[in-house]
Amino acid sequence: MTAAVEAEVGRARRRKEDARLITGRTRWTDNLTLPGMLHLAILRSPVAHARIAAVDTSAAEAMPGVLAVLTGVDLAKEQGSMGCAWPVTPDMAAPQHPAMAVDTVRYAGEAVALVVAASAYQARDALDAIDVEYADLPVVLDVTRALAADSPLVHPEFGSNRCATWVFDSAEAGTGGETAPAIADAEVVLRRRFRQQRIIPAFMEPRSVLVDPTGDQVTMWSATQVPHILRMMLAATLGLPEHKLRVIAPDVGGGFGGKLQVTPEEVLVLLAARRLGRPVKYTETRSDSMLSCHHGRDQFQDLTLAARPDGTITALEVELLADLGAYLGLLTPGIPLLGAFMFNGIYRIPAYRFTCTSVFTNKMYTDAVRGAGRPEATFGIERMMDELAAELGLDPLEVRRRNWIGHEQFPFTTVAGLTYDSGNYEAATDRATELFDYQGLRREQARRREQDDPTLLGIGVSTYTEMCGIAPSKVLGSLSFGAGGWEHAAIRMLPTGKVEVVTGSSPHGQGHETAWSQIVADRLGVPFEDVEVLHGDTQISPRGMDTYGSRSLAVGGVAVLLAADRVLDKARPVAAHLLGCAAEDLDFAAGRFTARGTENGVSIQEVTGAVFAAHDLPDGFEPNLDAQATFDPENFSFPHGTHLCAVEVDTETGAVKIRSYVCVDDVGTVVNPLIVDGQVHGGVVHGIAQALFEEASYDELGNLTTGTFADYLLPTAADLPHLVTDRTVTPATSNPLGAKGVGESGTIAATPAVVNAVVDAVRHLGVTDIEMPCTPQRVWRAIGGGA
Amino acid sequence: MRVTVIVDGVSYSDDVEPRLLLVHYLREHLGKVGTVVGCDTSNCGACTVHLDGRSVKSCSVLAVQADGREVATVEGLARDGRLHPVQQAFHDNHALQCGFCTPGMIMQAVDLLADDPDPDEEAVRAGLEGNLCRCTGYQNIVRAVLDAARRMSPGAGPEAERLTDEAAQVTHVAGGGQ
């Protein structure tokens, strides 16, 4: 029987997922062992650009436990070319992308040979016995020189290192004016070049893939964010029949965009397993991962902002130079373009032009990392707003107020052509400044400067929005993206009244099992504990577009809600039949249909049981309450918020310490505040990490010099402040849940807030920018240290 | 080489290669896959276990170095169906998202609280410095450890892991409020 249930949506439910994760009973891919399973290891190129002159595998083949050693030549006929799903322009240069290099390596870390052996140790031992002779080719590493006529070429067949040039112009699009005259006429014109350094996603679970070939069926377990996309792309890449391929994403230990990829490793393990007719597993080491998991960001941004003396913006021009690395991954060329729609931020800008030139270099390819294009854009505009404030002697919050979209102006179509459905920037900013003690900190900042305090205080502002809930399929189509942006859900009503929810979203830490249970428990009026959420297996969940772009709740969660509504629609005539009334005379609340005005009722579980028995149903009723729904949103959703950061800068060492951090985010309807706060914490720290700690660096030969966690600095608990978080709630109007998405907002907002704070601390010393990460050395040099 | 080691209260004896890392012995020889490998430079701490009651990164210990000693992993923390107070606090405070760092983080937190049963926030942050997490920003992990300290006083650590009825009783009482 159904008890009256407290509303689940909005409740801080502790997570269902935790039970297995806190007890060590988790199913990571690398935890799986199959009978007869073999282990695969990959030999990676130690050079950035070379012809493979010769490979001698004979010694490796003779090593103990080794079953096979394969090179790119061995696999050339069957490996196909790794797919890129986003041909951004008709003339985009799309090079062949072999899973394993056949005759040329184009980045350090590219796979050149593999070993399959009885144990993982034996496989790795045998790598050392493979002899590869490389004939070095000149390397292209500096993206700013890669388009010079005399530059070496990563892919000579294109005659240039240019991949694509993509332009958005508001005058051409009809969404605004021309930028050139606006800039020519402007009284204030600011030009800045900002650097978005290359970063590494650094999910904690190294990628792992296990393939079990049984007859013509192939089952793949992979630590992926995208089992459905992976299945489809593997079928396309290798010419496999899709229906013979099952992909399972078991427990996945974080992704941050890094597992939104179809990887050479997945292809190679599949090919090796098929050749040997045995299960084969590959689990990368962290050092492998740093080299061969796609990187992110890596662009130069040239911004020109025109304004009136009162701070009103009149035009914005953006020229991006994006370093794509050596090949195109799944979404590589499209990632910088996601920024095209976000550089205008939350502001009313009358004229806008965006140009992105993307370029090949001899580095690991870039692709989505948490935020994917939007953190870069938000960084650019939010840094620029602080620069404008400084130029005009205005408070950075005031210059924003003079330009942002007022809460009464929604829905608002931006100069980039998006329609922001809802928002309240004033409310979020008011709340943030109150929590932050903005005025008090400004006074302290002035005092420290006056007293020549060696520790200076800086305050950084970031008032961001983002487009998430990716995405309306029509919009993706207009951007030449290779797929739609819908999401699927199914609900299965079990005879005992329990409920199975099948989702096409594929979680890797987000807590779908909990949040989806809350949505369904509320809608169907069943206990939270009675709902089981199934995901991440193409056999169980055959349709899905997976998890990225803060889309799970705003698209996948809505599909779940719609499927639940369809269950109720099917149940209603049965309930009416059982109660002897007309369907339109039924009320439904707290899991119970009642005949209006009476005490006569029947629970959803009782209806389910009656349908299962099928003894007494309305004439012609198909005995099945299960339902499915596919939701394709009409619009993106637009979370927003105000982040304020105070830093202390030690002028003697250049060290930056975050003194306080306040964020007030508006992510629309909150299903589970515990989960939302957790996403904000992690997102903000990811942004702080880019601002202060992380950078993937290559030396002049193209060696990755940050190839381990000893060199690539993830912040630790000791490096970080306690974050103050709060929310305003302005529901999205683009979906019936009112949810906007929260997975990326912190990362999008935090980076400019922190860098603005660092620059603000030392601006009176003549500093207008410090490249990320703002390490002690960079800060110290910026303020004249060592000069 | 022959190693004899007690893991989560069970004695094992195996012939192993001298180079075999303790974490690989646990995972691949004993099937104790609750302890995971997150890096290869001992920076991330995902593989943290207890060796004779003190936390070690099991990627930095050879299996043979554990010979004759006692290893505790996250799999052995819960007793009689009752979570260890640190596990319970991680659950209650949403101190995990993907959960990959969690086994190591919990084992390190237990060790930290054995050293300092009443740490302040700064001490918790310093004590967890060798364990990386990408999901949580550490905020709720810190909160959970402080919460666990309140639940466990006086002290968890090796006492809470001893396989005696008395210790289990202590764990149960301290973990009340589950």
Q: Which of B39, B58, B124, B140 is the best mutation test for A, with the most CBs of A within 10 A?
A: B39
Domain end, chosen from B28, B47, B75, is at: B75
Partner-chain contact A685 B37, CB within 8 Å: no
Cβ contacts from A onto B, under 8 A: 178
Report pLDDT for A6. Answer: 73
Domain end, chosen from B16, B42, B75, is at: B75
Q: Give this complex's ipTM.
A: 0.97
Contact A4, A258 (CB under 8 A): no
Q: Does the beta carbon of B101 lie under 8 angstroms from any beta carbon of chain A?
A: yes
* Side chain identity at residue B133, one-letter code: C
- Asked whether residue B80 is assigned to any structural domain, the reply reads no
- Asked whether residue B164 is assigned to any structural domain, the reply reads yes
Report pLDDT for A785. Answer: 79
Report pLDDT for B163. Answer: 41
The yes-or-no verdict on residue B175 having pLDDT over 90 is: no
The yes-or-no verdict on residue A786 having pLDDT over 90 is: no
Which tokens hold the place of A413? 């179509």
Average pLDDT rounded to a whole number, residues A43-56: 98
Partner-chain contact B138 A717, CB within 8 Å: yes
Question: pLDDT digits over A212-250, tens only?
Answer: 999 999 999 999 999 999 999 999 999 999 999 999 999
The yes-or-no verdict on residue A530 having pLDDT over 70 is: yes
The yes-or-no verdict on residue B171 having pLDDT over 60 is: no
- Asked whether residue B156 is assigned to any structural domain, the reply reads yes
Partner-chain contact A254 B78, CB within 8 Å: no
Report pLDDT for A733. Answer: 94
Partner-chain contact A723 B130, CB within 8 Å: no
Report pLDDT for A43. Answer: 98
Residue B170, domain CATH: 1.10.150.120
Domain end, chosen from B26, B57, B75, is at: B75
Q: What are phi and psi of B124, to 5 degrees?
A: -65, -45
Report pLDDT for B159. Answer: 52
Q: What are phi and psi of A185, to 5 degrees?
A: -90, -10
Q: What's the predicted TM-score (pTM) here?
A: 0.96
How far is A327 from B121, CA to CA, in rounded Å?
45
Contact A504, A516 (CB under 8 A): no
Neighbouring C-alpha atoms within 13 Å toward the C-beta of A340? 24
How far is A665 from A671, CA to CA, in rounded Å?
15
Question: pLDDT digits over B93-106, tens only?
Answer: 999 999 999 999 99
- Asked whether residue B141 is assigned to any structural domain, the reply reads yes
Closest residue in B to A712 (Cα) is: B43
What radius of gyration do chain A's Cα atoms show? 28
The yes-or-no verdict on residue B174 having pLDDT over 90 is: no
Q: What are phi and psi of A555, to 5 degrees?
A: -115, -60
Q: Tell me the average pLDDT of chain A.
A: 97
Which tokens hold the place of A162? 């240019």
Whether B11 and B43 share a structural domain: yes
Whether B100 and B35 share a structural domain: no
How far is A460 from A437, CA to CA, in rounded Å?
13
Average pLDDT rounded to a whole number, residues A267-285: 98
For residue B38, the chain A residues in CB contact (below 8 A) are 204-206, 286
Which residues between 119 and 178 in chain B have a beta carbon less than 8 angstroms from any beta carbon of chain A? 121, 124-126, 128-142
The domain made up of A32-137+204-254+259-292 has a fold known as: Aldehyde Oxidoreductase; domain 3 (3.90.1170)
pLDDT confidence bin for A469, thresholds 50/70/90: confident
Whether B16 and B60 share a structural domain: yes
Whether B70 and B14 share a structural domain: yes
For residue B74, the chain A residues in CB contact (below 8 A) are 22-24
What sign results for the dihedral spanned by CA atoms A201, A203, A204, A205?
negative
Q: Any idea where the domains of chain A sit in the sequence?
A: 18-24+486-630, 32-137+204-254+259-292, 296-470+635-782
Closest by CA to A772, choosing from A705, A689, A658, is A689
The domain made up of A296-470+635-782 has a fold known as: Aldehyde Oxidoreductase; domain 4 (3.30.365)
Total residue length of chain A: 787
Query: Which strands sit side by side in the sheet containing A455-465, from one edge to the other?
Result: A455-465, A640-650, A656-666, A723-727
Contact B103, B48 (CB under 8 A): yes
Question: pLDDT digits over A163-185, tens only?
Answer: 999 999 999 999 999 999 999 99
Report pLDDT for B173. Answer: 32
Closest by CA to B178, choosing from B157, B156, B158, B148, is B148
**Which residues are CB-contacts of A490 (< 8 A; sequence separation ≥ 6)?**
A501, A502, A541, A563, A626, A627, A628, A629
Contact B119, B153 (CB under 8 A): no
Whether B54 and B31 share a structural domain: yes
For residue B130, the chain A residues in CB contact (below 8 A) are 716
The SS3 assignment for A347 reads strand
Whether B93 and B112 share a structural domain: yes
Question: pLDDT digits over A1-35, tens only?
Answer: 444 457 999 999 999 999 999 999 999 999 999 99
CATH topology of A18-24+486-630 equal to that of A32-137+204-254+259-292?
Answer: no
Q: How many domains does chain B have?
A: 2
Greatest extent of chain B over all pairs of C-alpha atoms, in Å: 46
The yes-or-no verdict on residue A98 having pLDDT over 80 is: yes
**Which residues are CB-contacts of A269 (< 8 A; sequence separation ≥ 6)?**
A40, A209, A210, A211, A220, A280, A281, A282
Question: pLDDT digits over A566-595, tens only?
Answer: 999 999 999 999 999 999 999 999 999 999
Average pLDDT rounded to a whole number, residues A363-387: 97
How far is B172 from B168, CA to CA, in rounded Å?
6
**Which residues are CB-contacts of A622 (< 8 A; sequence separation ≥ 6)?**
none
Burial grade of B61 (CB within 10 A; 0-12, 13-18, 19 or more): buried
Whether B103 and B170 share a structural domain: yes
- Asked whether residue B162 is assigned to any structural domain, the reply reads yes
Tell me yes or no: is domain A18-24+486-630 CATH 3.30.420.40.
Answer: no
Q: Does the beta carbon of A287 lie under 8 angstroms from any beta carbon of chain B?
A: yes
Closest by CA to A587, choosing from A576, A299, A497, is A576
pLDDT confidence bin for A787, thresholds 50/70/90: low
Give the pairing of strands A104-105 and A50-56: antiparallel
Partner-chain contact B40 A286, CB within 8 Å: yes
**Which residues are CB-contacts of A673 (< 8 A; sequence separation ≥ 6)?**
A10, A11, A12
Give the pairing of strands A38-44 and A531-534: unpaired
DSSP one-letter string for B33-52 = TTS----SSS-S-TTEEEET
How far is A400 from A420, CA to CA, in rounded Å?
17
Question: pLDDT digits over A122-150, tens only?
Answer: 999 999 999 999 999 999 999 999 999 99
Q: What are phi and psi of A595, to 5 degrees?
A: -75, 125
The percentage of chain A sitting over the pLDDT mark of 90, rounded to a whole number, equals: 98
Structural domain including B18 reads: 2-75
Which tokens hold the place of A78? 């069957």
The yes-or-no verdict on residue B170 having pLDDT over 90 is: no
